[in-house]
Every structure is written in structure tokens, then in C-alpha cells.
Amino acid sequence: MYNVGMRIPRSAALAALAAFAIMPAAARATTLAEWKAKLPPATYTVMFEEGTEPPFSSPLDKETAAGIYGCAACDLALYSSKTKFDSGTGWPSFWRPLPGAILTKLDTSIPLETRTEVHCKRCSGHLGHVFNDGPAPTGLRYCMNGVALRFHPGAA
């Protein structure tokens, strides 16, 4: 279930914004025009215009094989299948990203609601949002757009 009223401590929000502001040089190396030419339209819209795919539209939501989920733009490894779970929301969900894989920033695009966006650390592409209604051990739900992910079956 969504927890749309999630509150984030101010100190955590400021830290997230500061981390996002320090974008890796590799993220600046590819222009938006280059990403637009390289990626399918739905992927570009989600990742670089911060769109959202329709729920239950991604085959990755029901993927159960072992493997690694990478960024659909730059292929940075983001999540292990070991942390994937069925949240019932219609989007692939994980309870923890791989170390050093993501950046977060505040999303205030919906009036009276503050959410936390998740972005790829390498290319800064928008992946989805993180909520505090996930399973143990973290209590977090990284709710990702399937078009922003690339699945690599194998060892997780």
C-alpha cells in the first residue's frame, strides 16, 4: 500500500538534496538530446522528464528469476533480485538498492504531499520513488518504473 503522507525529517531531506546536487561527471557527459535519441520514448519520458509508467504495465513487476536490475539508460547495477518483493502496487519494488547505486531528492510536484524521488547515481535518470511502507529489514519500498530498469538474469 502507498503511504502518501510520508514525512521525511528535514535533516534527511537536506542531505538528500545536497547529495543530488553533487552529480557525477559521467552523468553530465550525455546530453538530454543524446538520451532522447538513444532510449525508447517511454523510457526517456520516465527517466528524463520524471514521468510514471502505468501500474501493472511492466513485465519486470512479476519477474521472479535471480539477477540484477540495472539502469535502462546507463546500465549501472541498481538492485539485486534478492531484495525484490511483490508490493501489490503494479511496479517492481525492492527493499534496498545496491551500495552507491542511487541518489534521492525531494519531490513536491503533488500539492500537500512530499515524496522522495530515486535517481540513478551515474546518469541521474529518474527511476521511481521510495516510501516507508516496505518489508523488514529496512521498512522501505523502492517503487521503480519498469521501463527505467534493465534485468540481467544470473547471480544476484
Catalytic positions, please?
143
Contact 131, 140 (CB under 8 A): yes
Nearest alpha carbon to residue 122 among 18, 1, 25: 25
- The two beta strands, 93-94 and 149-153, are unpaired
Cβ atoms of 88 and 1 closer than 8 Å: yes
Alpha carbon distance 79, 76 (integer Å): 10
Contacts 24+ apart (CB under 8 A), 14-18: 16/103, 16/104, 16/105, 16/106, 16/116, 17/105, 17/106
Rounded CA-CA distance 83/137 in Å is: 10
